[in-house]
Amino acid sequence: MDWDFSEDEAFLALCDAFRESGETSAMEFLATGEGAFHFQELTQNAAGEGIDLSDSESMAEFQMEVLETIDEINN
């Protein structure tokens, strides 16, 4: 992916909300209302950056990158 989402405001808000939630699993957090909200904002920003997430494989790859980055930041 050509876009560094780790500095995007939606990603930073997602990380902050994850830390504040007390959740131990980033994947489980994304399944909650607040986590899903922030992830949706991030996907919209990705689209604005020209990232095509229209197929399920691209979306799954993006989600895994986001989850891995959240884990790296929080460990």
Q: Which residues of the chain have pLDDT under 50?
A: none
| Residues 57-74: tens digit of each pLDDT | 999 999 999 999 999 988
Q: How far apart are CA 22 and CA 41, in angstroms?
A: 21
Residue 64 has a pLDDT of 95
Query: Look-up: residue for tokens 């131990």?
Result: 24
Sequence-ordered list of residues with C-beta below 8 angstroms from that of 17, at least 6 positions apart, any chain: 29, 34, 35, 38
pTM of this prediction? 0.89
Residue 75 has a pLDDT of 74
